[in-house]
Amino acid sequence: METSRILIADDNPEIREIIHILLEGEGFDIEEACDGQHALNLTEKKDFDLIILDIMMPGLNGYQTCIEIRKNSNAPILFLSARTKDSDKTLGFSSGGDDYLAKPFSYNELISRAKALIRRYQVYRGKNTAPKTEPAKSPLVFHHLTIDEAKEEVTFGSVPLVLTDTEYAMLLLLVKHRGQIFSAQHLYESVWNEPYYYGANNTVMVHIRNLRLKIEKDPKNPALIKTVWGKGYRCD
């Protein structure tokens, strides 16, 4: 089984060392970056299964680094930061992050979050799974979108879309259950595969907004993913 590779980007060498030791002890292959530009350079040369970003770094901050990484990689990104306001978390998710963990953090929580993000990434990329023997599924056609589950690709008309694994998982779930209303809690627990927590509603809302920007012809007036006020979201 291939060892998962994690990139840790933080300008504090002590924090990098602590995280390095923790995750290496769990069997992961670890690389370090001392700032945002260093992290960006590494992601352009190598593939990672998880990227852990500090926010307050010299030069490119974590948000800026995330935006740049997202131009070339869909690997899950976990923000670590002492900034814990909802606006900070929203900005993190808006820039393309998948999860947000506040400093100081529990070592066990860091390890569990890292494993959950990597597991979801590998599942949706078809890594570390048994060979499939069932017949290939026909692509799902939903309005102007085509979802090819075998290739895990989504096209807008004939144009391929670049979705993060979280966005792909969310879209696939909603399209496969058209007409069903998913509450924020149901979506979070189904896609993130974690217990719902206070504030997760905002996480779901930001990812829905990002997804609409990519799949809707008019994101301000969404026709594919509808908001059912007070209840959640659904695809018609």
Q: Encode pLDDT of 24-58 as tens digits.
A: 999 999 999 999 999 999 999 999 999 999 999 98
Q: Return the pLDDT at 192.
A: 81
Q: Return the pLDDT at 85.
A: 73
pLDDT of 17 > 90? The answer is yes
Q: What is the pLDDT of residues 147-205, one digit of tens each?
A: 998 888 899 988 888 888 888 989 999 999 999 999 999 998 888 877 887 778 888 88
The token pair at 123 is: 């599942």
Measured distance CA(191)–CA(171) in Å, rounded: 10
Q: Cα separations (Å) of 210 from 57, 173, 205, 222? A: 25, 16, 9, 12
| pTM attached to this predicted model | 0.65
Residue of 17, 26, 81 lying closest to 55 (CA atoms): 81
pLDDT of 83 > 80? The answer is no
Q: Return the pLDDT at 128.
A: 45
Q: Return the pLDDT at 129.
A: 42
pLDDT classification of 102: cutoffs 50, 70, 90:
confident
Q: Return the pLDDT at 126.
A: 56
